[in-house]
């Protein structure tokens, strides 16, 4: 949503067991890199790079794949 983009975070339904293995791929874009393009804090995927801000738009589909406990 526009609010998620403004807040620079997406809230996940579960906490990832291994955050560094989370896969973050915007449709039509390239896979983002953990630690470079985004981080995971608890159940939130956060970013502070302008690259994602300029790329993501409201209604954008993002595939997030991860394992949880």
Write the secondary structure of 27-38 as one string of H (helix), E (strand) and C (coil): CCCCCECECCCE
How high is the pLDDT of residue 16?
97
Whether residue 33 has pLDDT greater than 90: yes
Cα(60)–Cα(30) distance, rounded to whole angstroms? 13
pLDDT band at 28 (very low <50, low <70, confident <90, very high): confident
* Residue 36 tokens, joined: 């470079």
Cα(60)–Cα(63) distance, rounded to whole angstroms? 10
pTM, two decimal places: 0.87
- What pLDDT, in 10s, does the model give residues 38-69? 999 999 999 987 678 777 888 888 999 999 97
Cα(55)–Cα(69) distance, rounded to whole angstroms? 31
Q: Are 62 and 11 in contact (CB under 8 A)?
A: no
Whether residue 5 has pLDDT greater than 80: yes
How high is the pLDDT of residue 44?
97
């Amino acid at each position: 949503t526009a609010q998620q983009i403004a807040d620079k975070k997406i809230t996940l339904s579960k906490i990832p067991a291994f955050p560094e293995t989370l896969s973050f791929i915007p449709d039509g874009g390239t896979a983002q890199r953990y630690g470079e393009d985004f981080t995971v804090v608890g159940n939130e995927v956060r970013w502070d790079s302008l690259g994602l801000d300029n790329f993501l738009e409201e209604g954008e589909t993002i595939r997030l794949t991860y394992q949880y406990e």
